[in-house]
Chain A
Amino acid sequence: GIQVEQSPPDLILQEGANSTLRCNFSDSVNNLQWFHQNPWGQLINLFYIPSGTKQNGRLSATTVATERYSLLYISSSQTTDSGVYFCAVVIYNQGGKLIFGQGTELSVKP
């Protein structure tokens, strides 16, 4: 099956710093999603991004489908950005289930 790998596994930032999180996937995909899981466990959908670049405030994401990777950029990080960031690929021929990467745990210090 498809393998999804994320890096780095952990990241500590000072408030205001920028960061780039990476997601590699082993096979062609039709859909890739980025999620943020806050410290209380709630998952929030950040981006649906099968290809190209999208921006939402201080966050942006780029997927290069032909090279099988996606990047999540966080600019001017805030303490509320802390949590775990997951990327996941969608398996449409299996009911649309998600295959998650292992996540990047981000801690933003004041």
Chain B
Amino acid sequence: GAVVSQHPSWVICKSGTSVKIECRSLDFQATTMFWYRQFPKQSLMLMATSNEGSKATYEQGVEKDKFLINHASLTLSTLTVTSAHPEDSSFYICSPRDTRENGYTFGSGTRLTVV
């Protein structure tokens, strides 16, 4: 099955700093990467969709200059939360699209706490 590595698992940062989250597909190539955000007791909300080598498409209400997505290779995508504020504290989940199968794969998530 598809193996996804996401790290860090959790991070605490000071307000105003930036945090980078990495997502790797270890045994398949992902031309498409989805990034989700999940607040406590809520569902997953799609933030953006990125395709390898092109700019990400952001969902309405998601600031593209705040949440920088890089998808430079078929096995690695990064999400950088710039100038983080406490309201950015959330659980961030990557989902590389594995087109070999009908299922979807997910990273183990990154719990971000901004203090």
Contact = CB atoms under 8 A, between A and B. Distances in A.
B43 A97 contact: no
A55 interface: no
A48 B108 contact: no
Interface string A57-89: 000000000000000000000000000001000
Contacts of A45: 103-105
A31 B49 contact: no
Given A41-B109, A101-B43, A95 B104 contact: no
Q: How many B residues touch the partner, as a band?
A: 20 to 34
Nearest to B110: A41
A102 B108 contact: no
Contacts of B93: 41, 43
A17 B102 CA distance: 30
Interface residues of A, number: 21
A95 B57 CA distance: 10
B29 interface: no
Interface of A: 31, 33, 35, 40-43, 45, 48, 86, 94-103, 105
27 contacts: A33-B104, A35-B104, A41-B91, A41-B109, A41-B111, A42-B106, A42-B109, A43-B44, A43-B106, A45-B104, A45-B105, A48-B102, A86-B43, A95-B49, A95-B51, A96-B97, A97-B46, A97-B49, A98-B44, A98-B95, A98-B104, A100-B44, A100-B45, A101-B43, A102-B42, A102-B43, A103-B43
Given A41-B111, A45-B103, 16 more contacts: A33-B103, A33-B104, A41-B91, A41-B93, A42-B108, A42-B109, A43-B44, A45-B104, A45-B105, A94-B49, A95-B51, A95-B57, A96-B97, A98-B44, A100-B44, A102-B43
